[in-house]
A and B are shown apart, each in its own frame.
Chain A
Amino acid sequence: MAERVFITGMGMISAIGNNVVENLRSLRLQQSGLGHTRYIATIHKDVLPVAEVKLSTEKLATMAGFESTGGYTRTTLLGLVAISEALTAAGIADAKELPAALINASTVGGMCDTEKVYFDILDPQKEGTFLQYIDTLDCADCTQRMADITGIREYVTTISTACSSSANALMYGARLIQQGLVQRAVCGGTEALTRFTINGFNSLKNIDKQFCRPFDQQRNGLNLGEGAAYLVLESESLARQRGARILAELSGWCNTNEAFHPTAPSPEGDGAYEAMKNALAMSGRTVEEVQYVNVHGTATLNNDVSEGKALERLFGAQVPRFSSTKPFTGHTLAAAGAIEAIYAVLSIGQQMIFPNLHFSEKMEELAIVPETRLLEEYPVQNVISNSFGFGGNNASLVFSKYEG
């Protein structure tokens, strides 16, 4: 019998707050983080809304405890801010105290900074400190810097499965624990806005010029966001032995692939359905025991139809409350799975369901509508969190209330 996996600490930074408490406050106040970029040099800056962390890279460096950015990318600094909160919250003063895993997620690594100096790097006539960013081009750089600063080193790796990256990081960490390879895994993802990604999604005509409207008939695409989030996962035995405060259980998970289209989900949501169904089966919970689904809900035309159909297939006429929190945070790509995992745990801890902002009109393809109100004192026991991505990569996680 594999060990149960508990969440004992969380840390995050997003457009709606620089830590977990600030994020919760914004969720309760229904304050979206969407707006326009202050830090990205792009022709789209006044046209395409984004959910940007409201701190310059220099300020982030200060928050992370450095005098200057000194070769640390925004991706890394966001990650460092979030992971240090997660470790502190878990009561871990020294992460080196036992062999642990750091499973990080990233879609474009340090692109946020390298894209600014890329053509200088290619120019043999140019020399300078920008050359220190060369090694930040890939996804491993941010992870290793976080590993080096926290001292986590038993397993150090990075996952990149587009928008489901950090959900897969959580899954992988949980499995390392269940296999007995480590007792603790710190898992999550970090994503900084880049001109590269903004132009990528814009070239796919996937970005709404208005604030995104998940599950709305008039929705017209996503808004990108940035942020980082990490959850400390621990085996039941470690958590008990050290008397850790247990926030929730990661009770089920599933990763599937749609094998349908490189950038679009199947219309009936086959992959989403399978991922949710199998994750729930693993958790040992029934569909009746799920009170909330934090949907992927990007507000693209395709995702919401597909995910909505999957919800209707799985839950029939009794679809639980569901909402997309992307109108708060934007779509934070590699960080999204972990940010929303924290919201799922908060939902359980606070007995609260977060509203799906910007919704007004039911989708014609669906019988269901998202929850648009903030529900407090709502008895949330089990939450499904969905992350679906390019390449057909789907991941669903089930979080369950820890009963003493």
Chain B
Amino acid sequence: MKGKVYIRGCAAISPQESFSGSFVPQPPTLADDNILRAKEPDYKAFIAPNNLRRMSRMLKMGLTAALQCLQNAGITVPDAIITGTGKGSLQDTERFLHDIRQYAEAALNPTPFIQSTYNSVNGLIALQQQCTRYNNTFVHRGFSFEHAVLDGLMLLREGNAANVLAGGFDEITKEHFYIKSRIGYWKTALTQPADLFSSNTPGALAGEGAVFFVLGAAPAAVSLEGIKMMYKPSQESLGQALETFLSQHQLTPADIDLLITGQSGDSNHDHWYQFVQQKYFPDTIATPFKHLCGEYDTAGAFALWMAVQRMQEEERLKHVLIYNQFYGEQHTLMLLGR
């Protein structure tokens, strides 16, 4: 690794009041289902009315978060646009499936098909900002956003970019919520996010969001020191990977000032966090985040955003570690420094 990589700007559309103003974490109150819905901003400030009309929700959310992120970083055209999304624009995928059935494959409107392609948000950002350079989209559950970050780090190391726009986005729909409920993804009884970690029941609360970052070599308050992904690890190999990851950065668990963990309140999978906390971080201050954003493929992006907010507020936080996993399969460590 040649130089350090800094987080030069970020923006988040999430179930929190995260898009503008200062961030005060507040578990939402759910009315009738286990879905934490994103608080969408007024898109008119970002997208021209005739485009707005055509664009589906995920595209609007993704594009707007990306544009605000660039603005926050003081950059117009990044050298690369890299995103991760587990499901892309679900609304469009669903709509095209329904259209095919309803209209018996005749005279279909192509718009939902086009927008359902996973790279459509990337294409839109590139189009709007006239960014003609590197552009990539990862679509791999709990590794989607994380590979976008790794790709960005590699581009910076290669010297092929000075500023990388990297983000993650996913939405949840009623239909997809129902589909995943059939294989136990969600809690069956209505559970308030504030009670998430005492629920002790299987399943998570569904969430969504669009979160972007500008990564670059120019110094900023927070640096992204490294990322490590582990696919279906054993407890033992996870522990080894954690030790190695920290020691590669000349750190031990005691050096971590804040641990951000991806507990989802899911009694099937939260044991991973208990293991890591008990074995390595018994005395470290730890905070969960999925009571704020819900569980989704690219929730790791929200965790990173939250880490940046905390570090901007609290000078004493020198090293922050994020540990997140998605339904026991994709595990990720992200290390932040100064």
- Tell me if A140 counts as interface (CB < 8 A to partner B): yes
- Tell me if B254 counts as interface (CB < 8 A to partner A): no
Given contacts A162-B117, A203-B109, contact A257 B157 (CB under 8 A): no
> Could you tell me if B131 and A160 are in contact, using CB atoms closer than 8 angstroms?
no
Contact bitstring A164-199, B, C-beta under 8 A = 1, else 0? 000010001001101100000000000000011001
Q: Which of B15-23, B64-72, B176-184, B263-271 makes up part of the contact surface?
A: B176-184
Residues of A near B96 (CB, < 8 A) are: 196, 199-200
CB distance from A199 to the nearest CB of B (A): 5
> Could you tell me if A259 and B127 are in contact, using CB atoms closer than 8 angstroms?
yes
- Tell me if A392 counts as interface (CB < 8 A to partner B): yes
> Could you tell me if A139 and B139 are in contact, using CB atoms closer than 8 angstroms?
yes
Given contacts A134-B183, A160-B118, A203-B109, contact A43 B104 (CB under 8 A): yes
Q: Which of A131, A134, A154 has the most CB of B within 10 A?
A: A134
CB distance from B120 to the nearest CB of A (A): 6
Given contacts A200-B110, A203-B108, A390-B120, contact A168 B136 (CB under 8 A): yes
- Tell me if B232 counts as interface (CB < 8 A to partner A): yes
**Cα(A176)–Cα(B154), bound, Å:** 8
> Could you tell me if B113 and A157 are in contact, using CB atoms closer than 8 angstroms?
no
- Tell me if A225 counts as interface (CB < 8 A to partner B): no
Residues of B near A119 (CB, < 8 A) are: 101
Residues of A near B129 (CB, < 8 A) are: 259
- Tell me if B114 counts as interface (CB < 8 A to partner A): yes
Closest to B87 in A: A138
Contact bitstring B313-338, A, C-beta under 8 A = 1, else 0? 00000000000000001000000000
- Tell me if B138 counts as interface (CB < 8 A to partner A): yes
CB distance from A315 to the nearest CB of B (A): 21
> Could you tell me if B120 and A257 are in contact, using CB atoms closer than 8 angstroms?
no
> Could you tell me if B113 and A153 are in contact, using CB atoms closer than 8 angstroms?
no
Q: Which of B5-13, B34-42, B140-148 makes up part of the contact surface?
A: B140-148
> Could you tell me if A262 and B105 are in contact, using CB atoms closer than 8 angstroms?
no
Residues of A near B154 (CB, < 8 A) are: 175-176, 179
> Could you tell me if B139 and A263 are in contact, using CB atoms closer than 8 angstroms?
no
- Tell me if B75 counts as interface (CB < 8 A to partner A): no
CB distance from B245 to the nearest CB of A (A): 13
Closest to A158 in B: B140
> Could you tell me if B179 and A260 are in contact, using CB atoms closer than 8 angstroms?
no
Residues of A near B130 (CB, < 8 A) are: 259
- Tell me if A382 counts as interface (CB < 8 A to partner B): no
> Could you tell me if B137 and A262 are in contact, using CB atoms closer than 8 angstroms?
no
- Tell me if B81 counts as interface (CB < 8 A to partner A): yes
CB distance from A205 to the nearest CB of B (A): 8
Residues of A near B31 (CB, < 8 A) are: none
Residues of B near A139 (CB, < 8 A) are: 118, 139-140
> Could you tell me if B139 and A390 are in contact, using CB atoms closer than 8 angstroms?
no
Residue of B108, B144, B178, B232 near A122 (CB, 8 A) is B178
Given contacts A135-B183, A259-B130, A391-B120, contact A159 B114 (CB under 8 A): no
CB distance from B172 to the nearest CB of A (A): 13
Q: Which of B81, B123, B134, B143 has the most CB of A within 10 A?
A: B123
Residues of B near A199 (CB, < 8 A) are: 96, 100, 105, 108, 113
> Could you tell me if B106 and A161 are in contact, using CB atoms closer than 8 angstroms?
no
**Cα(A43)–Cα(B108), bound, Å:** 13
Residues of B near A153 (CB, < 8 A) are: 231-232
> Could you tell me if A157 and B119 are in contact, using CB atoms closer than 8 angstroms?
no
> Could you tell me if B231 and A140 are in contact, using CB atoms closer than 8 angstroms?
no
- Tell me if A44 counts as interface (CB < 8 A to partner B): yes
Residues of A near B104 (CB, < 8 A) are: 43
> Could you tell me if A389 and B119 are in contact, using CB atoms closer than 8 angstroms?
yes
> Could you tell me if A175 and B158 are in contact, using CB atoms closer than 8 angstroms?
yes
- Tell me if A37 counts as interface (CB < 8 A to partner B): no
Given contacts A139-B140, A155-B229, A158-B139, contact A262 B123 (CB under 8 A): yes
Q: Which of A44, A122, A131, A270 has the most CB of B within 10 A?
A: A122
**Cα(A271)–Cα(B117), bound, Å:** 20
Given contacts A195-B100, A261-B127, A391-B122, contact A256 B109 (CB under 8 A): no
Given contacts A121-B179, A140-B86, A200-B113, contact A172 B124 (CB under 8 A): no
**Cα(A270)–Cα(B183), bound, Å:** 46
> Could you tell me if B138 and A393 are in contact, using CB atoms closer than 8 angstroms?
no
> Could you tell me if B105 and A42 are in contact, using CB atoms closer than 8 angstroms?
yes
**Cα(A114)–Cα(B133), bound, Å:** 35
Residues of A near B117 (CB, < 8 A) are: 107, 160, 162, 390-391
- Tell me if B260 counts as interface (CB < 8 A to partner A): no
Q: Which of A107, A148, A262 has the most CB of B within 10 A?
A: A262
> Could you tell me if A138 and B100 are in contact, using CB atoms closer than 8 angstroms?
no
> Could you tell me if B122 and A121 are in contact, using CB atoms closer than 8 angstroms?
no
> Could you tell me if B157 and A179 are in contact, using CB atoms closer than 8 angstroms?
yes
Give me 19 A-to-B residue pairs in the complex whose CB atoms sit less than 8 angstroms apart, sorted by A's number.
Answer: A115-B97, A138-B139, A139-B139, A140-B140, A144-B329, A155-B229, A156-B140, A159-B139, A168-B136, A172-B151, A199-B105, A199-B113, A203-B109, A204-B110, A256-B133, A390-B114, A391-B135, A392-B123, A393-B123
The 9 closest A-B pairs by CB, nearest first: A391-B123, A200-B113, A160-B118, A257-B135, A203-B110, A203-B108, A139-B139, A391-B119, A160-B139
Interface residues of B (CB under 8 A from A): 81, 86-88, 96-97, 100-101, 104-106, 108-110, 113-114, 116-120, 122-124, 126-127, 129-141, 143-144, 147, 151, 154, 157-158, 175, 178-180, 182-183, 229, 231-232, 329
Given contacts A134-B179, A390-B123, 10 further A-B contacts (CB under 8 A): A43-B106, A138-B87, A160-B119, A176-B154, A195-B100, A196-B100, A199-B108, A200-B113, A259-B130, A271-B132
Interface residues of A (CB under 8 A from B): 42-44, 106-107, 109, 115, 118-119, 121-122, 131, 134-135, 137-140, 143-144, 147-148, 153-162, 168, 172, 175-176, 178-179, 195-196, 199-200, 202-204, 255-263, 270-271, 274, 389-393
